[in-house]
Structure 1
Amino acid sequence: MAWKRMVLEIGMGTDIRGGDSTKAAVRALRDALWHNSLGIADILGQPVDSMRVEVTIGAPNPETVDKQQVLAVLPHGTGTVTCVEGGLTIPTGRDDGSVTLLAHAAAVVYMDIPEEAHR
């Protein structure tokens, strides 16, 4: 058996007024995942919780993202979250200095498949 990359899902999320990196990151991962209905595990005859998902979040302040909240979005399998500099902040134009914050998510799904299946 060998872990093989099966799927890449990409999404974007925002916090319109609060500038909250975690809120935007959670929404980005939901955007990436909720537009798909993947039958990869079923096709390979494996349980859906056998998937391994590597999530990368791009946010303006990556150190402020709560990785556990992002990880909790995954409906199946196990995962890891890595946060990197990215995304975007847009001033709202208010006097309070608030911003709209955009985060991006990439979720790579891996499955442990027999060696002969990928030759």
Structure 2
Amino acid sequence: MDHLLFIETGFGIDVHGQDVTCAAVRAVRDAIHRNSMPGISRFLPDHDLNKMEVTIRLAVPKDKERVAIEKVKAEIPYGTVHVELMDGGMATPSGIVLKDKHDKNDLMYIVNASIEVGY
């Protein structure tokens, strides 16, 4: 990405089930769901939303290898999307194990997201 236009941040939690992909998708949604960028196409080559470059950085507490990258990418409707995973986030006790929620233990996973948009 040669021209960075903006960065959005968010976090997502999977309280039960220890599903790091669920937490990652929620982090991306948290970062983007309160934004409207009606003028962004003016800054993109040929005013084409699909020429946008998006880099999603996820700080993941555990099970990085279990993040379903394509599910995370699917949260971004336009452009070329890249996902980078790094250590971070948090795995902390939820205080309860609920078998009907597919808990393997009492941990909840918290993932942080930083989303860069440019071209």
**TM bucket normalised to smaller:** 0.7 to 0.9
Is 1:101 aligned with 2:102?
no
Task: Determine what percentage of the aligned residue pairs are the same residue.
Answer: 31
Match of 1:90, as an amino acid? T
How far off its partner does 1:76 sit? 1.1
Deviation track 1:19-39 (CA, whole Å, cap 9, x = no partner) reads 111000001001111111113
How far off its partner does 1:40 sit? 4.5
Deviation track 1:55-89 (CA, whole Å, cap 9, x = no partner) reads 10111122221111101110111111011111111
When residues 40 and 109 of structure 1 are mapped into structure 2, their CA distance, relative to the original with a 3 A threshold, is farther
1:1-119 aligned at under 5 Å gives the runs 3-44=2-43, 46-61=47-62, 62-94=64-96, 97-111=105-119
* 8 A Cα contact 1:41 1:47, kept in partner: no
When residues 3 and 39 of structure 1 are mapped into structure 2, their CA distance, relative to the original with a 3 A threshold, is farther
The two structures, once aligned, show a CA RMSD in angstroms of: 1.7
Q: TM-score, normalised by structure 1?
A: 0.83
Aligned residues: 110
User: Which range moved further: 36-45 or 2-11?
Assistant: 36-45
Q: Select the structure that is richer in strand.
A: 1
SS at match of 1:25: helix
Equivalent residue number for residue 116 of structure 1: none
Q: TM-score, normalised by structure 2?
A: 0.83
How far off its partner does 1:102 sit? 0.6
Q: Whole-Å Cα distance in 2 between the matches of residues 109 and 86 of structure 1?
A: 22
User: Which range moved further: 87-96 or 98-107?
Assistant: 87-96
Unaligned 5+ runs, structure 2: 98-103
Q: Whole-Å Cα distance in 1 between the matches of residues 72 and 52 of structure 2?
A: 17
